[in-house]
């Protein structure tokens, strides 16, 4: 680290420094990153993003065309999720989207209720949201298929329940909760129901056309108030690009703020951050237009094919096994005879960037993963378990 130079350095010197410094970062293209839900953004989306860096949706009337493109992205997501009338925003990520959902739920309940029912597998962004919003997160255990235990959810509802959270693609195993049943419970008890499909939202809608089972999770269930769906995960969009969709515009009214001083004129804003990347929306729009449904189906098909190969490979290695049959491109590997912490340590020594959960290793087969990477990983896993 150094202090701020008195005089600036030439650009070529800085580029050289950056080249050296950034070499320490892992790259997706190396194939070593097998434990991330992010990937190399699509080259077309990167090009578009670079052209729009100055667009600020925190002042939407200055950039009405960008704001319209954001609305179109939300409409496309809405139609993907069985509700073309959905309202929402492209935000900084799944965390912000989940915070916005619980913020909305709390304010719809006029701040009079304070309990949120989620699952033991819900992403830690809900812990953050609960902490920020003064809510109590009640974590429900899982059934034998690693879905939230529906009966326990039902029994945990109290007059103080402000919201239920369901997962459509859990962070640890890619499991989808029984959204139809959670929707019924939410309706019966008149509570807000949020579905976190931050990762699964760009996978599940594209499974069916390939003859694969895709649990239903979206706005077709009338209890669903909002859904998180992140373009910067399986959507191949540049970071930052999360997505939050509400059933309709009226739901977000309790968190909207009229801001009158904006250069573009008064606007009603209901996101967490003020200044907000317009490039994220524009790049997501361009990519959706470019890939279309068929493009995303091809991406998901390829990832799922490699997922099955990885799963089959794991099954054939003595000493390790699958936690559960993968629903989407997330694979959990466990062992009954070796501590997964030890296996992880050895895999990391060999350069694999994988995720460690308390009882399993998580592999996410992202679009940057090639067959050769899967084979090399399985070889190393076999060697390590043998040793
Ligand atoms: N929800 C789920 C299911 C996730 O897996 C993640 C991140 O992996 C998030 C939310 C948070 O997303 P972000 O890291 O974009 O804030």
Rounded CA gap, 306 and 254, in Å?
A: 44
In this structure, the chain runs to a length of 387
The closest-lying atom of ligand 1 relative to the alpha carbon of residue 240 is 15
Yes or no: domain 18-41+292-386 corresponds to CATH 3.90.1150.10: yes
CA of 178 to the centre of ligand 1 (A): 19
d(CA 225, CA 35): 30
Nearest C-alpha neighbor of 163 from the set 130, 131, 132: 130
Which sign, positive or negative, has the C-alpha torsion 340, 343, 348, 354? negative
Ligand 1, CB cutoff 6 Å, lining residues = 37, 93-95, 98, 123, 125, 169, 171, 196, 198-199, 230, 242
Calculate the CA dihedral of residues 357, 363, 366, 370 and round it to 10 degrees: 160
Residue 148 and residue 151: Cα distance in Å, rounded?
9
**Closest residue by CA, ligand 1 atom 12:** 94
pLDDT mean over 11-39: 98
**Atom of ligand 1 lying closest to residue 98 CA:** 10
Q: Please give the distance, rounded to the nearest whole angstrom, from the Cα atom of residue 169 to the centre of ligand 1.
A: 10
Cα separations (Å) of 7 from 12, 160, 323? 15, 60, 57
118 C-alpha vs ligand 1 centroid, how far in Å? Answer: 15
User: CA 70, CA 282: separation in Å to the nearest integer?
Assistant: 7
What is the model's pLDDT at position 99?
Answer: 98
pLDDT at 346 over 60: yes
Ligand 1 atom closest to the Cα of residue 93 is: 15
Task: Report, in angstroms and rounded to the nearest whole number, the Rg of the chain calculated over CA atoms.
Answer: 22
More confident residue, 159 or 387: 159
**3-state secondary structure string, 236-291?**
CCCCCCEEEEECCHHHHHHHCEEECCCCCCCEEECCCCCCCEHHHHHHHHHHHHHH
Mean pLDDT, range 325-331, rounded to an integer: 97
DSSP string, 75-135: HHHHHHTT-TT-EEEEES-HHHHHHHHHHHHHHHTTT---EEEEETTS-THHHHHHHHHT-
> Is residue 289 very low, low, confident or very high in pLDDT (cuts 50, 70, 90)?
very high
Q: What is the whole-number distance in angstroms between the Cα of residue 16 and the centre of ligand 1? A: 34
List the residue whose alpha carbon is closest to atom 11 of ligand 1.
Answer: 94
- The DSSP string of 29-68 is GGS-B-S-S--PPPHHHHHHHHTTTT-BTTSGGGSHHHHH
Q: Which atom of ligand 1 is nearest to the CA of 96?
A: 16
pLDDT band at 212 (very low <50, low <70, confident <90, very high): confident
> Is residue 140 within a helix (H) or strand (E), and if so which, with residue range?
strand 136-140
Looking at the CA of residue 197, tell me the nearest atom of ligand 1: 3
Q: Each residue of 241-286: pLDDT tens digit?
A: 999 999 999 999 999 999 999 999 999 999 999 999 999 999 999 9
d(CA 10, ligand 1 centre) in Å: 39
Whether residue 64 is predicted with pLDDT greater than 70 in this model: the reply is yes
Asked if omega into 205 is within 30° of 0 (cis), the reply is no
Query: What percent of the chain is predicted at pLDDT more than 90?
Result: 97
Closest residue by CA, ligand 1 atom 4: 171
Q: Summarize the confidence of residues 202-226 as an average pLDDT.
A: 94
Q: Model confidence at 84, in pLDDT bands (50, 70, 90)? A: very high
Mutate to test the pocket of ligand 1, among 167, 199, 366 (most ligand atoms within 8 A of CB): 199
Reported CATH class of domain 44-289 = alpha beta
- Position 137 scores a pLDDT of 98
Expressed in angstroms and rounded, the spacing between residue 291 Cα and the centre of ligand 1 is 23
β 321-322/330-334 pair status: antiparallel
Q: Which atom of ligand 1 is nearest to the CA of 171?
A: 5
**Strand 192-196 to 161-167 pairing:** parallel
Contacts with 277 (C-beta within 8 Å, 6 or more apart), sequence order: 55, 56, 57, 90, 92, 240, 241
Calculate what percentage of the chain has a pLDDT beyond 70: 99
Query: According to the model, what pLDDT value does residue 52 have?
Result: 98
Q: From ligand 1's centre to the CA of 200, what distance in Å?
A: 10
From the CA of 94, give the closest atom in ligand 1.
Answer: 12
Q: Which helix (DSSP H) or strand (DSSP E) does residue 164 occupy?
A: strand 161-167
Between the CA of 196 and the centroid of ligand 1 the distance, in Å, is: 9
1 pLDDT higher than 60: no
Q: Where do the structural domains in the chain lie, given as residue ranges?
A: 18-41+292-386, 44-289
Structure tokens at 162: 């402000």
- Kindly report, residue by residue over 86-134, the tens digit of the pLDDT: 999 999 999 999 999 999 999 999 999 999 999 999 999 999 999 999 9
pLDDT category at 213 given cuts 50, 70, 90 is confident
pTM of the complete model: 0.98
CA separation (Å) from 338 to 73, 320, 341, 368?
A: 46, 8, 8, 29
Listed residue (180, 200, 219, 215) closest to 94, CA to CA: 200
What spacing in Å lies between the alpha carbon of 123 and ligand 1's midpoint? Answer: 6
- Distance separating alpha carbons of residues 281 and 240, to the nearest angstrom: 10
């Amino acid at each position: 680290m150094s202090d701020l130079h008195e005089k600036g350095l030439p650009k070529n010197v800085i580029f050289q420094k950056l080249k050296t410094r950034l070499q320490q970062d892992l790259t997706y293209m190396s194939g070593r990153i097998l434990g991330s839900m992010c990937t190399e953004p699509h080259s077309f989306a990167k090009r578009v993003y670079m052209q729009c860096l100055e667009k600020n949706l925190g002042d939407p009337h200055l950039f009405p065309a960008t704001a319209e493109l954001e609305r179109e992205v939300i409409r496309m997501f809405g139609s993907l999720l069985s509700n073309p009338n959905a309202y929402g925003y492209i935000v900084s990520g799944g965390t912000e989207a989940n915070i916005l959902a619980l913020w909305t739920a709390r304010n719809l309940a006029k701040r009079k209720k304070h309990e949120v029912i989620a699952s033991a597998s819900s992403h830690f962004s809900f812990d953050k949201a609960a902490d920020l919003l003064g809510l109590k997160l009640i974590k429900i255990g899982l059934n034998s298929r690693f879905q939230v235990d529906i009966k326990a959810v039902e029994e945990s509802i109290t007059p103080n329940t402000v919201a239920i959270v369901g997962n459509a693609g859990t962070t640890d195993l890619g499991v989808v909760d029984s959204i139809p049943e959670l929707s019924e419970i939410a309706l019966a008890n008149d509570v807000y129901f949020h579905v976190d499909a931050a990762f699964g939202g760009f996978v599940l809608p594209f499974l069916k056309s390939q003859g694969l089972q895709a649990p239903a999770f979206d706005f077709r269930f009338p209890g669903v108030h909002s859904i998180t769906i992140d373009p910067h995960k399986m959507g191949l969009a540049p970071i930052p690009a999360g997505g939050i969709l509400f059933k309709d515009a009226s739901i977000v009214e309790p968190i909207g703020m009229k801001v009158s001083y904006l250069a573009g004129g008064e606007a009603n804003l209901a996101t967490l951050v003020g200044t907000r990347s317009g490039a994220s929306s524009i790049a997501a729009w361009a990519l959706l237009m470019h890939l279309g449904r068929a493009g995303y189906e091809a991406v998901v098909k390829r990832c799922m094919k490699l997922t099955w190969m990885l799963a089959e490979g794991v099954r054939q290695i003595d000493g390790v096994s699958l936690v559960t049959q993968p629903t989407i491109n997330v694979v959990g590997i466990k062992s009954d005879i070796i501590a997964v912490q030890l296996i992880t340590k050895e895999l990391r020594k060999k350069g694999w960037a994988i995720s460690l959960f308390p009882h399993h290793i998580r592999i996410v087969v992202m679009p940057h993963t090639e067959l050769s990477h899967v084979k090399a990983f399985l070889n190393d896993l076999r060697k390590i378990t043998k040793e």
